[in-house]
Chain A
Amino acid sequence: MKLPVASRQSPARARLLPLALSLLLSTSLALTPDQSLRAEAIGDNLRCPICTGEPITQSTNDISREMLRDVREQVAAGRSDAEIYSYFAARYGNFVLLDPPKDGVGMLLWGAPLAALGAGGLVLWRFLRRKPTAAAAATPEAEGDTFDPYLAEVQRQTRRKEGA
């Protein structure tokens, strides 16, 4: 039973050898330093699909390594960053992008904090601007700079009593 298994293994190895060689060749893909940096930067933005929030440049599993090699191949082939990102997004979904695109729901995620900040600023600005005028409007009888409603009330009451 064991003999045929052993004999089958060797041709398999013989077939694997050129395969391993071609793999080795493709990993040592000739990239200029610039291209290498670009591939690295793109890889930093691609999430390893089986890790938790780790870019493929940092994880050590096979699929990340192969994805990074894929990125390098595409860089070498002269494809743009956007093309490479969309290539992976078309296969793994936007989940694979660590820096999601700013459209659709992504736009909402990016825009909501900014919109909230703007709205908050507007409310604060209006509040700060309104306060002195509102206070002035509410104190027709106020004398002096500082207005104390209780003091005003007391003054009014005493004035009324004096009149009576």
Chain B
Amino acid sequence: MTDLSPSSNPAPTPAPLWRRLLPPVLAATLVAVLGVALLSPSRNATDGGPLVGKPAPEFTLESLDGAQVSLAALQGRPVVLNFWASWCEPCREEAPLFRELGEKRSGENGPAILGILFQETKEQNARDFIREYALAYPNLRDPGIKTGIDYGVAGIPETVFIDKEGVIRHVDRGGLSRERLNVGLEKIGVEGI
């Protein structure tokens, strides 16, 4: 019985190395790809987007005071563009920052601040909001959300930072904190607040 095994089935030659490694490598790759996909911020990112690095879409809109405001007229000045509505709670929280920015950086190199209404249901609510937070910059109507769509706005608040040359350098989604506002400001060459 003992001489059975060697004479019968000769021990199978071991599979080549690459073949033995293939399954664990495949499994590890799959796990790695899933891990990266899970952990990558992509859709949850609060900044960036396809418009960063592109020229800011042009617009001419009417402010709540009836003045025509166009982006082209602001060329040569950095622009902070804030999409908001009175019903939006984070907009309420970030509003004092914009007032402060307007007060602190109103000089020669200060940015132009513009608000654009996004799905504002009642214009009077927006007026009340502006008065409540003493916002001293133009806030524009956006009929048909044309400009909003042009800037790829899906939710508010969203703030677009445009440099002197009219190129979008930073986009921030969600309520701004002082730090996040300063990140955007620095990218368009404006000192933070």
Q: Give me the interface of A with B, judged by CB distance under 8 Å.
A: 5, 8-9, 12, 15-16, 19, 22-23, 26, 49-50, 62-63, 66-67, 69-70, 89-93, 95, 149, 153, 156-157
Contacts and interface: CB of A to CB of B under 8 A. Distances in A.
B96 interface: no
B123 to A, nearest CB: 6
A92 B66 CA distance: 30
15 contacts: A12-B123, A15-B66, A23-B144, A49-B155, A63-B148, A66-B146, A67-B149, A91-B149, A91-B150, A91-B152, A92-B50, A93-B49, A93-B152, A95-B43, A153-B4
Contacts of B155: 49-50
A22 B152 contact: no
B119 A62 contact: yes
Nearest to A108: B33
Given A62-B119, A70-B146, A91-B50, 6 more contacts: A26-B144, A66-B144, A66-B145, A91-B51, A91-B152, A156-B7
- Centre residue among A19, A23, A70, A93 by max chain B CB count within 10 A: A93
A69 B146 CA distance: 10
Contact of A23 (B43, B143, B148, B151): B143
Contact of B149 (A19, A70, A93): A70
Nearest to B42: A95
B76 to A, nearest CB: 25
Contacts of A67: 149
Contacts of A19: 141, 143
B38 interface: no
Contact of B154 (A50, A69, A89): A50
B144 to A, nearest CB: 5
Contact of A63 (B43, B54, B145): B145
A69 B144 contact: yes
B13 interface: no
A26 B144 CA distance: 10
Nearest to B66: A15
B145 A92 contact: no
B158 to A, nearest CB: 11
A50 B143 CA distance: 19
Contacts of B9: 149
A125 to B, nearest CB: 17
Given A50-B154, A90-B50, A91-B51, A8 B148 contact: no
A87 B124 CA distance: 33
Contacts of B54: 90
A23 to B, nearest CB: 6
Nearest to B7: A156
Contacts of B119: 62-63
Contacts of B154: 49-50, 63, 92
Interface in B108-165: 119, 123-124, 127, 141, 143-146, 148-152, 154-155
Contacts of A91: 50-51, 149-152
Contacts of B2: none
Nearest to A8: B127
